[in-house]
Amino acid sequence: MTAPPASALRIGGSGVGAISILAGATGTLESVVSPTLPLLQRELSIDPGQGALLSIAMLITGALTAPIAGVLGDRHGGKRVLIWLMVVVSAGGLVSSVAPNLPVLLAGQVLEGAMVGAMPLSFILMRKLLPADRSPVAIGMISGFFVGGGMLGTLIAGPIAEGLSRHWMFAVPTFAIIVATFLVHKLAPDDPPSRTDARIDWPGVALLSGIVLTFMAGLATAPDMGSQPLLLVGVVVLLAAFVTGWIAVERRAAAPMFDLRLLATPAIWRSYVVTFAVCVGAALSIFLVPQLFAVSGDGYGFGASPTDIGRYLLPAAAMAAISGPLSGLGVRRFGASTVVAAGIVLMTASLIGMALVHGEIWHLIVGKALISLANGACITALVIRTATSVDHGTTGTATSLVLVIRVLGFATGAQIGGAVLTAGTPAGSEVPAESAYVTALIIAAVVSALSLLAIRTMNKGATHEPS
């Protein structure tokens, strides 16, 4: 690994705080669509299929933007690219806030998706401008604010949309992003480029985009694959073709988007596997728990209103907010692998607990809070693990792929949850059977637990294990 840059220690607590606030504001804007999707479908007169497109538009563009942002940050400096990226995100938020119809709102969401690239740029800044013993805690704080902002958006979107209008639920976090971006511009120092030779590998970006889009399309059409086996074959063949092409291009590229030799090291690829599994488990809980609060089924559910659900999820938001800094401290003291393993055990136990015991509201409140804590701690530790396992010049590129995998994991978990509930809904009813929720939570627990198999050897091939 290259030596830390001479500019280390140039950023102070106010600069780290400004970047953390920006992460929280972007996390809030990212999450406002999901809890208000029924309201948006009603007000914009769109069907569930169009609603599904709206719910994943930002995820898709974010997954495609993150690798490009990481390379640009490595080449031109993290702060400069971060500021320009936030200009795009702010424009998207403003477009979404005034959107009169679905096409305009989709355009706003596409622009907002650029926010996913902000995280690797923030990690570039922390590694460049802080010493090695302080950067894990700072990365943890930024990750925690982003996760906490996401939970805050879930909490406030419904009340703002119902009390004011759907326009204000986009406008409020956008204004916060604009203010936070100004603070970052004033309080964070400029960082020098890590790789002056870094170039955007456009063929690699195009093929990775094909992988992501095909994967998302496969998830969206999964319910029809049972009756249309040729559709499944087509998706698998197309996905395999994109993956094969991407590997071939990256091997031959003079400046590949991602060094496949690095991807082949256990420290990196096992981190990606664990990231995907943890996000699948967390996404299932995010999808299922609010519906369990709201459903009024036969002998289960609580018939909660959107405002009630927001109050019930408040402890989970608090746990998400503190998970990042706690994870950063834990990584510095015990190592990333230990923190990830502890988080997976806690998440698995909480998922099983909710599957078996969910007869009272507090059961779900406690379970969801513990899952939020575990998920935030795991993802933060995995990001730190990845960032500190590569050279300073590839921090943005390596961590951006973590965020791509995070998006794919959350999308997969949500689709699994939807498929299980749909299959578990009795004929002639619109309410899934209680057993469907139990099955989905058990699936989430199993997927999370299986990721422990990758933890034991995750350190092999590592350049550095934070301690």
pLDDT digits 0-9 by tens, 225-258:
556 667 777 878 888 888 888 888 877 776 666 6
Q: What value, to the nearest 5°, has the Cα angle with vertex 410 and ends 33 and 291?
A: 60
Q: Both 71 and 157 in a single domain?
A: yes
Q: Both 29 and 156 in a single domain?
A: yes
Amino acid at 28: T
**How many domains does the structure of the chain reveal?**
3
Phi, psi of 450 (to 5 degrees): -65, -25
Whether residue 18 contacts residue 184, with contact meaning beta carbons closer than 8 Å, is answered with yes
Q: Exposed, middle or buried, 126 (CB in 10 Å: 0-12/13-18/19+)?
A: buried
| Rounded Cα–Cα distance for residues 29 and 56 (Å) | 14
In this prediction, residue 8 carries a pLDDT of 42
Among 182, 131, 139, residue whose Cα is nearest residue 9: 131
Structure tokens given for 203: 């063929």
| Rounded Cα–Cα distance for residues 344 and 359 (Å) | 24
Q: Both 305 and 425 in a single domain?
A: yes
Q: 379 - beta bridge partners? A: none
Look at residue 290 and tell me if it is in a domain: yes
Q: Both 71 and 216 in a single domain?
A: no
In this prediction, residue 9 carries a pLDDT of 43
Phi, psi of 301 (to 5 degrees): 85, 165
Helix, strand, or coil (residue 463): coil
CATH number, domain with residue 366: 1.20.1250.20
Look at residue 2 and tell me if it is in a domain: no
Domain boundary, last residue among 191, 216, 233: 191
- Alpha carbon distances (Å) from 111 to 61, 118, 409, 446: 8, 13, 22, 36
Give the contacts of 43 (CB within 8 A, at least 6 positions apart). Answer: 166
Look at residue 1 and tell me if it is in a domain: no
Whether residue 424 contacts residue 433, with contact meaning beta carbons closer than 8 Å, is answered with yes
| Helix (H) or strand (E) run with residue 420 in it | helix 395-423
Q: Both 23 and 73 in a single domain?
A: yes
Among 44, 154, 150, 42, residue whose Cα is nearest residue 96: 44
Q: Both 379 and 306 in a single domain?
A: yes
In this prediction, residue 461 carries a pLDDT of 44
Burial of 368-379, coded b for 16+ CB within 10 Å and e otherwise, reads bbbbbbbbbbbb
Give the contacts of 426 (CB within 8 A, at least 6 positions apart). Answer: 433
Look at residue 4 and tell me if it is in a domain: no
Look at residue 100 and tell me if it is in a domain: yes
| Rounded Cα–Cα distance for residues 60 and 80 (Å) | 24
Q: Both 277 and 395 in a single domain?
A: yes
Domain boundary, last residue among 232, 256, 280: 256
Look at residue 5 and tell me if it is in a domain: no
Q: Both 239 and 319 in a single domain?
A: no
pLDDT < 50 positions in the chain = 1-9, 460-467
Amino acid at 6: A
Helix, strand, or coil (residue 376): helix
Q: 296 - beta bridge partners? A: 301
Among 91, 85, 76, 72, residue whose Cα is nearest residue 118: 85
Q: Where are the alpha helices (DSSP H) in 164-228?
A: 166-187, 202-220, 222-225
pLDDT tens string 19-74: 888 888 888 888 787 777 667 767 877 655 556 566 667 777 777 777 777 677 76
In this prediction, residue 10 carries a pLDDT of 65
Give the contacts of 125 (CB within 8 A, at least 6 positions apart). Answer: 11, 19, 78, 79, 82, 188, 191
Look at residue 108 and tell me if it is in a domain: yes
Domain boundary, last residue among 166, 191, 216: 191
Whether residue 324 contacts residue 142, with contact meaning beta carbons closer than 8 Å, is answered with yes
| Rounded Cα–Cα distance for residues 1 and 384 (Å) | 15
Q: Both 301 and 419 in a single domain?
A: yes
Look at residue 385 and tell me if it is in a domain: yes
Q: Both 240 and 323 in a single domain?
A: no
Q: Exposed, middle or buried, 345 (CB in 10 Å: 0-12/13-18/19+)?
A: middle
List the domain range (segments joined by +) for residue 449. 259-467
Phi, psi of 296 (to 5 degrees): -125, 75
Q: Both 138 and 246 in a single domain?
A: no
Whether residue 324 contacts residue 140, with contact meaning beta carbons closer than 8 Å, is answered with yes
Q: Both 234 and 150 in a single domain?
A: no
Q: Exposed, middle or buried, 303 (CB in 10 Å: 0-12/13-18/19+)?
A: exposed
Q: 301 - beta bridge partners? A: 296
In this prediction, residue 275 carries a pLDDT of 85
Amino acid at 332: R
Q: Quickly count: other Cβ atoms within 10 Å of residue 9's Cβ.
A: 11
Return left, alpha or beta for 461; rule: phi > 0 is left, psi -120 to 50 is alpha, else beta: left
Q: How far apart are the first and last CA of the chain?
A: 16
Distance, CA of 263 to chain centre: 20
Structure tokens given for 262: 């690095």
Structure tokens given for 7: 């500019």
